[in-house]
Chain A
């Protein structure tokens, strides 16, 4: 098999990305046709590790990342000319004048580290430094494949960059070389972390549920995926949900002609599996949800091979 990289995204949060990822990871592991690698790119809320803990706690590798850049004032070089304020060097409102000390002050959270102040200051009284933005954690899971995930330092405003860094880190992992299939648990939303996640991938699973907001949000996620021209398939979670919205939802699916990879029925075993920190396909392989997910895995493989 030619190496393939896929991600599970949804637009809306809490519709089953991580539960599906964990089950697909487990099925891929048992699949004699391929070797797999797992990546969690939901750096704001990395939850996959709860279901895929390390085989050996001592062999968890943690590495700090410094993808966040911040401006810093070199006080002794400042000649108090106030040009930085008067000429509005900073477009992010991170610079203000500290009247008491007669120097500029930098609002840490607002600063984007763009370096405009550093370049524009005639005295070169600003510098840009890299600060800790998060951690990348990697280990061999109890299921065997390697898991890599990023976790942002709170307040570092760097989610997208940390996603890219985590993907890069995975690619440099020696286990990765022999991997056929990389499965990525994506972040919710459609913004910068999602864009960083889907960039360069071979296939996307967009998971959604048949509710007004579930549909609204997955349409927005699909719009992003289409901009990047990546093939995708839809998985409908809680597909049999009793909802007055079902008709409208079905109509949407029929009208667009989008590829539906599969439908997962509402099944409390998913919640029980999660409470037990297991993928549902391992917790109860004969459950309705597990049977549906196994079908989805088969369809996914077909889509990737075609």
Chain B
């Protein structure tokens, strides 16, 4: 069986460059002749396709349970409302129950316990997934519908699809790169839980430090392997303190990326800095930084595959 390594790019703090890193790593892996799947798990704000100038194609709705009350059958007993943990059903004595769908967790308890079978199972759209190819990188994207709250529901569907790919088409990809939302909530946790290798992208600021420490705590809880990328590494002011903190905590650094106008340019053009066709300055600070990150990443991937095959041999 082929061992496909899964890399999750995360960061805790917002705007540290997670998507920038995920997209450029995927590009460099592709440049090296690898077949790459890039999964955009930042379903609240999926941006990978913007950075790849891609289109959202093959839209598939993610459906979610929606209780519908059949008034012909309903005896107005109120059992559904009484047992609803998220208060998504309100019952006033003598009245038909009223549903508040954005509070519904989808546990289906109301549907299962109604003594009159008066609750019917319908669905609403929670969001969508997209499958597209851009710059020879396959993209699997999740998107939460604005005003819906349960983003983890979309991430679960993405991960089911990843499982499907791992199971059925094990020859099709060499590597999977996943991008996460900022923060350390359930969406992020699911994507970290799936990973073999985690790359938290951080910046040498007080905010960066605090949020990195939180995400590392979560990674440790999940007992995963990680190495950080320090973005905007030429930002001074707090850098020394920041690097001391990394050293003290024995945190491995995969590489750092200095501030570079070429990065901003590539970002706004929707062409990854590391895309050969982009024609970006190969002597630039950002470009060289990514090359050096890739060198370290290759070694790490080789080790990870070795460990994975050893584990599966046992």
A residues neighboring B (CB under 8 Å): 10-15, 18, 42, 44-45, 47, 50, 69, 89, 91-92, 109, 112-116, 119-120, 128, 152, 154-155, 157, 159-160, 187-195, 211-213, 216-217, 220, 223-224, 227, 241-245, 271-272, 274-277
Q: A157-B186, A190-B146, A213-B51 are known contacts. Are A112 and B151 too (CB-CB below 8 A)?
A: no
Among B25-33, B204-212, B244-252, B279-287, which stretch is in contact with chain A? B204-212
CB proximity of B230 to chain A, nearest CB, Å:
15
**Known: A44-B183, A92-B107, A271-B237. Contact between A244 and B265, CB under 8 A?**
yes
Query: How many Å from the CB of A32 to the closest CB on chain B?
Result: 31
Which residues of the partner chain B approach A243 to less than 8 Å between Cβ atoms? Answer: 264-265, 268
B206 and A275 contacting across the interface, CB-CB below 8 Å: yes
A190, closest chain B residue (CB): B44
What 6 new A-B contacts, CB under 8 Å, besides A223-B147, A274-B238? A14-B13, A45-B183, A120-B112, A120-B113, A128-B85, A213-B47
Are B147 and A12 neighbours in the complex by a CB distance under 8 Å? no
* Among B50, B107, B218, B235: residue with most chain A CB under 10 A: B107
| Min CB–CB distance A252 → chain B (angstroms) | 14
Chain B residues near A119 (CB, 8 Å)?
83, 109, 113
Question: Are B45 and A217 within 8 A (Cβ)?
Answer: yes
CB distance from A66 to the nearest CB of B (A): 14
Contact with A along B197-238 (1 / 0, CB 8 A): 000000001110011001001100100000000000001111
Chain B residues whose CB sits within 8 angstroms of the CB of A45 once the complex forms: 12-14, 182-184, 207, 210-211, 214
Compute how far the CA of A13 lies from the CA of B106 in the bound complex, rounded to whole angstroms: 28
Mask, B241-274, CB within 8 Å of A = 1, is 0000000000000000000010011011110000
Contact among B183, B211, B217, B267 for A189, CB-based, below 8 A: B183
Q: Would you call A159 and B218 a contact (CB within 8 A)?
A: no
**Per a CB cutoff under 8 Å, which of B13, B51, B210 touches A13?**
B13
- The complex places the Cα of A155 from the Cα of B267 at a distance, in Å, of 33
> 1/0 contact trace for B127-154 toward A, CB 8 Å?
0000000000000000010111111100
A160-B264 in contact given A14-B15, A47-B210, A220-B45 (Cβ < 8 Å): no
Q: How distant is the Cα of A55 from the Cα of B257 in the complex, in angstroms?
A: 37
Is residue B181 within 8 Å, beta carbon to beta carbon, of the partner chain? Answer: yes
Contact: A188 with B65, CB < 8 Å?
no
Task: Looking at the assembled complex, report how far the CB atom of B32 sits from the nearest CB atom of chain A, in whole angstroms.
Answer: 26
The answer, yes or no, to whether B120 is at the interface (CB within 8 Å) is no
Whether a CB of chain A sits under 8 angstroms from the CB of B174 is no
A274 and B206 contact, Cβ closer than 8 Å, known pairs A15-B15, A115-B83, A227-B146: yes
Asked if A155 meets B15 with Cβ closer than 8 Å, knowing A191-B149, A217-B45, A243-B264, the reply is no
Smallest distance from the beta carbon of B142 to chain A beta carbons, Å? 12
**Which interface class (under 10, 10 to 19, 20 to 34, 35 or more) fits B?**
35 or more
Per CB-CB distance, the 10 closest pairs between chain A and chain B, nearest first, are A13-B14, A14-B15, A275-B237, A44-B183, A114-B107, A189-B44, A192-B149, A223-B146, A13-B182, A191-B151
Which residues of the other chain, B, contact A113 by a CB distance below 8 angstroms? Answer: 85
Q: Which of A12, A44, A114, A274 contacts B184 (CB 8 A)?
A: A44
- Write 13 A-B pairs (CB below 8 A) sorted by A numbering: A112-B85, A112-B107, A113-B85, A152-B185, A154-B217, A189-B44, A190-B144, A191-B144, A193-B185, A212-B51, A243-B264, A244-B265, A274-B206
Contact among B16, B86, B185 with A114 in the assembled complex (CB-CB below 8 Å): B86
For residue B19, CB closer than 8 A to chain A, the reply is yes
**Judging by beta carbons under 8 Å apart, are A50 and B206 in contact?**
yes
Contacts of B194 in A (CB 8 A): none
CA distance A255 to B36 in the complex (A): 38
Q: A92-B107, A120-B109, A190-B44 are in contact. Are A157 and B185 (CB under 8 A)?
A: yes
Interchain CB contact under 8 A, A154 and B15 = no
Query: Quick one: given A188-B181, A192-B149, are A91 and B189 in contact (CB under 8 Å)?
Result: no
Instruction: Give the nearest-CB partner of B210 in chain A.
Output: A47
Q: How far is the CA of A189 from the CA of B102 in the complex (A)?
A: 17
**Chain B residues with Cβ under 8 A from A112's Cβ?**
85, 105, 107
Minimum distance in angstroms from A110 CB to a CB of chain B: 9
Residues of A within 8 A of B288 (CB): none
Kindly report which residue of chain A lies nearest to residue B11, judged by CB atoms.
A13
Chain A residues with CB under 8 A of B150: 191-192
- Cβ of B108 within 8 Å of any chain A Cβ, yes or no, is yes
Contact A277 B206 (CB under 8 A): yes
